[in-house]
Amino acid sequence: MIKPEVPENEVERLYALRTLKILDSSHEERFDRVTRMAKRMFNVAISLVSIIDEDRQWFKSAQGLELLETPRDISFCAHAINQDNLFIVPDTLKDKRFFDNPLVTGGPEIRFYAGCPLKIRQGINIGTLCLIDTEPKHFTEEDQQLLEDLGAIIEQEIKSIELATLDELTMISNRRGFLTLAEHSLKVCRRNQMSMSFIFFDLNKFKIINDEYGHHEGDFVLATFAKIMLNSFRDCDLIARLGGDEFVAMLNDSDYYSGRADIALERFASAIEQANKTLNKPYKIQYSAGVSYFKHDTDKSIEVMLQEADAAMYKQKKNNAL
């Protein structure tokens, strides 16, 4: 058996997946309808909408299979997300990657597999719409086109979720998405008795960039700022664009004494400085940031914690102006 490779953009892929908050959600008719249709159209034993998490594949919709998830390292779909085209295995026993795979030698005894990668944007594949059978199959060009068409339906349903929680320009969480994820993160912090910190960012002189160089440059700055945030903070940290030129990061297991927020800010500042040196723009990306700390048993809401971080940011911005 050959284990699936991890995509080069795995950090970005997992962040996009987490933002959707689709993992471990209940089955939905809009997905089940497509898998039922696929199972009947192709006359296969199993059809799935499979989502590839960090170390598992989880099934958003499943027809013909009772399992809720399987390990990622034996998953066929974990191979499929590494390409943009269909991933087809006509006969697993004749394929060196899969002939001794536990899902082939044991239940559900996969002999045929066809997976259509599900992308939420170019290069970001979060899972597949896949077909599985216990007998080898020949998959015609017409079959392939039909599977791609059904996959496109699933992608549209996923994008309808994404648009409600992602900022379309920067492709990180918007305010709504952040508040949803932050509430979940707050519960984790309370359960594990972990402190947390909020870092509120505001771009300096952003209006001048828009006015003097055009909104396309302003959009470039926002997207660049978000990308640097994504690369500077830990995978477990939440980041978002709250609106306009305001951004936020929520750090778990981060109190005043641990210095984690300071370390993250130093790493972020270095990355911004490096970007300013290499972008060769007639302006500099500048920002103010404020940090607020909270214990796990705080009774403050996420909105109130954001307000306190916002106040800390404005205090810093005022001090820098002096």
- Give pLDDT tens digits for 61-106: 999 999 999 999 999 999 999 999 999 999 999 999 999 999 999 9
Question: How many CB atoms neighbour CB 301 within 10 A?
Answer: 13
Residue 115's closest CA among 104, 125, 130?
Answer: 130
Query: pTM for the whole thing?
Result: 0.68
Q: Is residue 236 scored above 80 in pLDDT?
A: no
Please tell me the predicted confidence (pLDDT) of residue 183: 86
pLDDT reported for residue 188: 82
Question: What is the pLDDT at residue 191?
Answer: 84
Average pLDDT, the chain: 93
- Band of residue 172 on the pLDDT scale cut at 50, 70, 90: confident
* Rg value, the chain, Cα: 23
Spatial CA neighbour of 182 closest among 165, 160, 170, 207:
165
For 176-245, list the strands marked E by DSSP: 196-204, 238-243
pLDDT score for 122:
87
**pLDDT of 57 over the 60 cut:** yes
CB atoms within 10 A of CB 156: 10
pLDDT at 322: 56
β-strand partners of 127: 51, 118
Reply yes or no on whether the pLDDT at 114 is more than 60.
yes
- If one compares 106 and 20, the residue with the highest pLDDT of the two is 106
3-state secondary structure of 313: helix
Q: What is the pLDDT of residue 321?
A: 65
User: Averaged over 47-71, what is the pLDDT?
Assistant: 96
**CA nearest neighbour of 85 among 8, 151, 183, 133:** 151
Give me the residue label for tokens 């914690």.
305
Mean pLDDT of 154-182: 87
Q: Which of 80, 156, 74 is nearest to 125 (CA)?
A: 80
- Which pLDDT score is estimated for 228? 95
Calculate what percentage of the chain has a pLDDT beyond 70: 99
Checking DSSP bridges between strand 196-204 and strand 246-252, what pairing results, if any? Answer: antiparallel
Structural contact between residues 80 and 128, judged by C-beta atoms closer than 8 angstroms: yes
Distance CA 253, CA 141 (A): 52
Structure tokens at 279: 């972008």
**How many Å separate Cα 181 from the centre of its chain?**
12
What average pLDDT does range 10-32 have in this prediction?
89
**CB neighbours of 134 closer than 8 A, spacing ≥ 6?**
45, 108, 109, 110, 111, 112
**Tens digits of residue pLDDT in 286-303:** 999 999 999 999 999 999
pLDDT mean over 266-270: 96
Q: Does pLDDT of 164 surpass 60?
A: yes
Structural domains of the chain ordered from first start? 10-165 (3.30.450.40), 175-321 (3.30.70.270)
Q: Average pLDDT, stretch 129-135?
A: 98
Q: How far apart are CA 18 and CA 53, in angstroms?
A: 9
Of 159, 241, 255, 144, the C-alpha closest to 202 is 241
| pLDDT tens per residue, range 215-234 | 999 999 999 999 999 889 98
